[in-house]
Amino acid sequence: MKRIAFGPKGFRFLTLMAIWLCVFSVTAASVLAAPLKVVVGLPHRVLFSVAVAVYVAEERGFFKEAGIEIDPVFTKGGGETVQGVVSGDINVAMATGLFAVLGAFEKGAPVAIVAAEITGMDTFWYTLSNSPIRKLEDVAGRKIAFSTPGSSSHMAVLALADQLKAMGLKPSVAVSLGGLPDAFTGVRWHLLCSTVWKRASSELSYEGPISLR
């Protein structure tokens, strides 16, 4: 039987190789065990169907079970959220309006819709309960808030302005105020006559100073 003999240099080489393999194995194991970090863009903190789902999943350990670590990033609307996805700062965007995504896609942005969060139009208008606004024609020439340029709420306000112009009335004025709490404050302090609201929030009282339209 032939035997292989190693000299001092060969022995040192084998020792270094053994150490390298051990270090590589430990490093590879730690990399495989590390959770996948995902930056999730959320346009609003206060809405039940937007951020709360992430909070609950985090508290219940759903993300951990799936090997995912979520890093939530809050924006001021769908337009800003889409910009984050296009720039690569956001991996997945939630609760982003269809108009915002389609608008970016039409301009050549590398975005794709992967799932539906809610089906149907969930937008409505509100103003102060003592406001003279009672019908569509009453908002002619008045300021109406939306979140950010390119968002679904922005598209809704522009569509309203076009409808007023088609009726021979002065179009409403679109005002970007960012997040929903900012728009809510604007209506409360008479800075605006109305605003677009997406779904229900704890800040919106149906029996308080706010009236749905």
More confident residue, 27 or 57: 57
Residue 43's pLDDT band (cuts 50, 70, 90): confident
Mean pLDDT in residue range 160-164: 90
Which residue, among 32, 29, 35, has the nearest Cα to 65 in the 3D structure? 35
Q: What's residue 148's pLDDT?
A: 78
- Provide the residue type at 89 as one letter: D
**Which one has a higher pLDDT value, 17 or 167?**
167
Q: Please say whether the beta carbons of 50 and 43 come within 8 A.
A: yes
* CA distances in angstroms from 190 to 129, 149, 167, 168, listed in the order given: 12, 22, 26, 26
Please, is 67 exposed, middle or buried when counting C-beta atoms within 10 Å of its C-beta (0-12, 13-18, 19+)?
exposed
Q: Give yes or no for residue 205 having a pLDDT over 50.
A: no
Q: Is the pLDDT confidence value at 147 over 70? A: yes
What is this structure's pTM? 0.57
**CA end-to-end span of the chain:** 94
pLDDT-wise least confident of 3-12, 26-35, 47-56, 125-134: 3-12
Which is more confident, 152 or 35?
35
Give residue 25's pLDDT.
56
More confident site: 177 or 142:
142
Which phi and psi angles does 14 have, rounded to 5°? -65, -35
Give dist(CA 26, CA 37) in Å, integer. Answer: 20
Most confident of 10-24, 115-129, 161-175: 161-175
Instruction: Tell me: pLDDT of 151 over 50.
Output: yes
Q: What is the pLDDT of residues 134-145, one digit of tens each?
A: 888 888 888 888
SS3 call for 124:
strand
pLDDT for residue 162:
92
CA distances from 117 to 37, 94, 110 (A): 22, 8, 20
